[in-house]
Amino acid sequence: MADALRRILEDTDWSTASAEDLRRLVDTLRAREVVAGVTDLHRDASERVLPALPHHVEHSRPHRRALTCARLSPCGRWLATASMPAPDTWDAGGALAVWELASGRVAGSATEIAGGVGWGDEAGDLAWTSRSIVAMHNTNQLGRFALQHGTWLLESDIDLTDGQDHPPPFVVSPDGRHVAVGTWGPEDHGPVARVDLDVGARWSPRDPVPDGCTWTRAAVPRPRRLLWTDRGIVGLSHGVAFRLDPDTLALGWSIALSPVAPTALTRDHLFVATSQLVWVDLTSGEPVGALPLDGEVRGLVPSPHHADRVAVLFDEAVWLVEGGAVRSRLALAPAYASTRRFPDAPAVAFGPDGEVAVRTTDQVVRCRRDGTEVHRHTVPAHLTGLVWGERLVALGPAGLWFFDDAGPVARHDLAPPPGLAEPAVGYDHWAYDQDYPPGVFPLPAAEGRDWVWVVVGDDGSVATTGDPVTPLDDVLGITLHDALLSWPWRWTAADVGAIEGPERPDEPDDAFVIVAPRHELGPLPDHVVDVAIVPLGPAGSFRALQPLSGTALRRDDVMALVGGPVLYAERSEPRTVHTATVLTIEGDQLHVLHKDHRGDGWSGHVALTELSWIGEASWRGPSKREDPCPQVAIVQEPD
């Protein structure tokens, strides 16, 4: 096999190879690696293929903040993810990344997108056409991003919203040429517009309707979800469903729904769950079937691969319904509540071959169509939901895991490890004032609670400021531009250079501030501290050298932190690290006080059970004091 493959490498003109030829070559080399590891054959392939094709080194850390949305490509080969900018660096923009499911690596990205991409309250802020991505960006603008030289660039823009600070729903037509947007238009028009994607459009209430844009005149409510099939454009609002003609936008039908009933849209039907599961024909708007249900339904998940296959989610079970009948009942408790923070990844995913996967409290369980269990995999809490294309992917706001039959083949936990926050802009990077560029990213250091910087040059060179705990091959890949294919970086003979890290700034005089909670917060219980110390500034400027996490998060241990500066992260949002002081602990509730860089303070409560970790905060750079946090007197909790 090796000799035959070597002859193919020598005899083929790789500069003219098709995307499918390249994909077959990569699959063959991966199969060879499973048997023999990375060999001279892999390096020889890299030396022959890469110089013949446009390519660049890509990394899997383009998202600086939590993921807001995700969407599989129609072919199931790629997954698009998006993120917003950090609140204190809004001008730096958000990011869009395209992951290759076969490798679990980023195959292309766009960064510094003004206002970020997505919102996260509702599913559907991303969509695919044949070779482009349509996404909500900058809060309420709609843009089409096209692949150019391995980078996703904004090609056309649509801004039709009526000034609301929330993205409108949208859907792309089956032919990829038009988009329907759920937003109010000129007077005497309804809240759905059809726009030519090639033209783009911009409109405000004082302007005439732009070319390539048409609003409906139907008296329907503003939709919160849209679907475009060959039956028409279907909209779902709170308590109403309707269908519009895709050409004239004339109203076909409108029906009343329970505003709290779970719903799902497929190519042919609208499913509604009350005391029974009812499916409505999208052509006529008439109910065509019903199925009795046992118990309260928590959600409905349609299959993207099979017409009219839907999962019904209960508290302790999942029913798989197809063709008007229950095909199997899974005795699994779906983690439906956790998916509300990331609605594009529900608790159930359907595989292309008919299998189904369910996200439970701490596992992903795969079953055959008849309900027979195939695999169980334990996953962390921050992977809240599932999608399934060429591979099954568990994902959430702070990470992605890519699975094969045996388990995860690629893991990307984007949250910082306990004790650290994402490096602060202006603190760690020594060459850029606003944000680190796309080719510069941090990884946790192998030793100590700190960060290592990785720099990827335009020429594909790689250098680091130290040894990261994560192997570089886990985050680096080589993107072949035209094929949107990730070539494993480990197959090359690339050397990793060493560079000097940034100089750490000295601790400023106002790194920590002393506050009097009673004065700032008003009447409080007797056991609240009289004075406390709070970190002032970005969380990335501090670290917790001995964070408490897991079984170490006991009330008595956390009590020792009362009155002093702390860093902490919550289980639901592990990528967001907070600076604060703990004022008191009442039961399992921590009363915390925050300060921002302007000195403004606000207080709140965090449940001990919701903490991912917490620890005493210290300055990350050189300290002016042996003890950076002066001792303060506290009033002890009464016996």
List the structure tokens of 161: 């919203």
Q: Does residue 427 register a pLDDT over 70?
A: no
Task: Give 633's pLDDT tier (boundaries 50, 70, 90).
Answer: very low
Mean pLDDT of all residues belonging to the chain:
88
Euclidean distance between CA atoms 46 and 275, whole angstroms = 59
Rounded to a whole number of angstroms, the CA Rg of the chain reads 27
- Vertex 233 angle, CA 232 and 235, to 5°: 140
pLDDT at residue 559, rounded to an integer: 92
DSSP state of 189: -
pLDDT at residue 211, rounded to an integer: 83
Find the range with the poorest average confidence among 262-276, 306-320, 600-614. 600-614
pLDDT at residue 624, rounded to an integer: 63
DSSP codes of every residue in 148-177: ETTEEEEEEEEE---S-SSPPPEEE-TTSS
Mean pLDDT along residues 84-89:
72
pLDDT at residue 200, rounded to an integer: 75
Mean pLDDT along residues 278-292:
95
Beta bridge partners of 565: 581
DSSP state of 88: G
Three-state SS at 449: coil
Q: Which residue has the higher pLDDT, 126 or 524?
A: 126
Of 327, 377, 339, nearest to 357 by C-alpha is 377
Three-state SS at 276: strand
pLDDT at residue 632, rounded to an integer: 44
Q: Does residue 476 register a pLDDT over 90?
A: yes
Q: Determine what percent of the chain falls in helix, strand and coil, rounding each to the nearest 5.
A: 15, 40, 45
Please give the distance of CA 99 from its chain centroid, rounded to a whole number. 12
Find the range with the poorest average confidence among 126-130, 301-305, 516-520, 609-613. 516-520
Q: Which helix (H) or strand (E) holds 412?
A: strand 407-413
pLDDT at residue 119, rounded to an integer: 79
List the structure tokens of 383: 């992977």
pLDDT at residue 631, rounded to an integer: 44
Tell me the pLDDT tens digit for each residue of 394-406. Answer: 999 999 999 998 8
pLDDT at residue 167, rounded to an integer: 81
Q: Distances from the Cα of 25 to the Cαs of 55, 75, 260, 487, in angstroms?
A: 16, 19, 51, 10
Please give the distance of CA 369 from its chain centroid, rounded to a whole number. 28
H helix and E strand count, the chain: 5, 49
Query: Left, alpha or beta for 140 (phi > 0: left; psi -120 to 50: alpha)?
Result: alpha
Mean pLDDT along residues 507-514:
89
Q: Does residue 635 register a pLDDT over 90?
A: no
Q: Which residue has the tokens 């390539």?
A: 212
Task: Give 630's pLDDT tier (boundaries 50, 70, 90).
Answer: very low
Euclidean distance between CA atoms 299 and 317, whole angstroms = 11
Q: Does residue 562 register a pLDDT over 80?
A: yes
Q: Does residue 634 register a pLDDT over 70?
A: no
Query: Left, alpha or beta for 419 (phi > 0: left; psi -120 to 50: alpha)?
Result: left
3-state secondary structure 309-369: EEEEECCCCEEEEECCEEEEEECCCCCCHHHHHCCCCCCEEECCCCCEEEECCCEEEEECC
Tell me the pLDDT tens digit for each residue of 539-559. Answer: 988 999 999 998 778 999 999
Of 201, 161, 162, nearest to 178 by C-alpha is 201
pLDDT at residue 188, rounded to an integer: 78
